[in-house]
Amino acid sequence: MSAILEAAGQYEFNNPSVSTGNYEWWGIYQHIGPNRSGKGLGMAVEAWKAYMRGVAVFANCTRNPLTDEIDHIIRFPHYDYDPNGVFPMALEGVFVLLDQAEQFIDATAPTKAVRNFGNFSYQAKKRLIALHFDTVRPRNIYNRVRYNSDWNIYSKRYPHNWHLPLRAVLYDLRTDEKGDGTVQSRKVVLRNPIERGFGRLYNSLAYVRKEDS
């Protein structure tokens, strides 16, 4: 876990060589919370669970302009991808992580690339894709993606002061899965994530930026 690893070889888009039989959490998950509240950590843990069950993981890692090296968001084997071009990739049976989603699916700038990501999200469930994206302000997210999420996951950090060592993260998962307007909710507490090794899954200092499209 000390090294940042990239997946070896090339992903076969038309014939994914992954085993999805042990994974069932497909769908669209919107992670919501203030900066430094555990959103990215939660996505990394979910990506790790998928990876450990044989599912290929994609993360929107970008190049650091100061070092000219890729800043990897997660620290286990994965494929880097550009959100601007994800729709034509015809992905199937994979886990897709979109960090700092406001930069890439901005509701105030519905470009062709943003609309294509919306089209990608429409097909996520039928193509057995687990799409996880995070945001500080949901209204900044393109509505075709924001309103299509199956779960909204609200994160709360303990202690609240992010200058202090992280002791726990409360994840409040909410869904209208039945479609009857009744919001279902359940809470999960991730205690002592750093001491338990979860912090090594996620690079909280990764420089994520939208490339010009």
Token pair for 69: 């090296």
Residue 143 lies in a domain: yes
User: Which residues span the domain enclosing 112?
Assistant: 27-153+197-201
Residue of 119, 70, 59, 63 whose CA lies nearest to 94: 59
Q: Edge-to-edge strands of the sheet including 56-59?
A: 79-80, 56-59, 94-98, 130-135, 27-32, 151-158, 168-175, 184-191
Residue 213 lies in a domain: no
Q: Output the pLDDT for position 6.
A: 34
Read off the pLDDT of residues 44-61 as tens digits, 9 standing for 90 and up.
999 999 999 999 999 999
Q: Is 59 exposed, middle or buried (0-12, 13-18, 19+ CB in 10 A)?
A: buried
Total number of domains constituting the chain: 1
Taking the CA atoms of residue 156, residue 162, residue 168 and residue 171 in that order, the dihedral angle to the nearest 10 degrees is: 20
Residue 178 lies in a domain: no
208 membership: H or E segment, kind and range: none
| Amino acid (one-letter) located at 165 | P
Residue 211 lies in a domain: no
What CATH number should be reported for the domain holding residue 89? 3.40.50.300
Can you say how many angstroms the Cα of residue 36 is from the centroid of all Cα atoms in its chain?
Answer: 15
Reduce the DSSP state of residue 28 to 3 states and report it.
Answer: strand
Residue 184 lies in a domain: no
pLDDT < 70 regions, the chain = 1-22, 177-181, 211-213
Read off the pLDDT of residues 161-177 as tens digits, 9 standing for 90 and up.
999 999 999 999 999 76
Kindly report the average pLDDT of the chain as a whole number. Answer: 84
Q: Output the pLDDT for position 166.
A: 95
